[in-house]
Amino acid sequence: MEIKIDLISEDKINSMSSMEKLRFILDGVKSGNIVILEGGLSSEEQMKLIELTMTEVDDDFPGIEISGYPAKRSFLNLRKKTRLTVIGPAKVMHTIKQDKDLISAVVSAV
């Protein structure tokens, strides 16, 4: 079985509203794809994604696996800059190890 990986640019993500972003990600993941976002999601968006995911969990879709680099404070510590986020179907993707600058995951076809 093939697994598709979608690498989404920061420009594309920024052009979407918050809900569009979440819908786009979840539709991709429910189709079995792994979605990698340049620029990542904020922690508020990730929480909303978890909430949205929970409304769609069923026998065939147990949920998502999500990993990301933590946000960094920008100049003068005023704004948090989000970084890369990886989201995949929980059935397919499993994070082995994660720290501030490294995500190690296995992807296995079912």
Q: Site residues (CB under 8 A) for other proteins? A: 42-44, 46-47, 50-51, 53-55, 57, 59, 62-68, 70-71, 78-79, 90, 95, 97-99
3/71 with CB nearer other proteins? 71
Instruction: Name the minimum Å distance from CB 102 to other proteins.
Output: 10
50/107 with CB nearer other proteins? 50
Rounded to whole angstroms, the Cα distance separating 54 from 42 reads 18
Q: Which amino acid is at 103?
A: I
Rounded to whole angstroms, the Cα distance separating 84 from 51 reads 20
43/108 with CB nearer other proteins? 43
Of 65, 107, 105, 100, the residue nearest 83 (C-alpha): 100
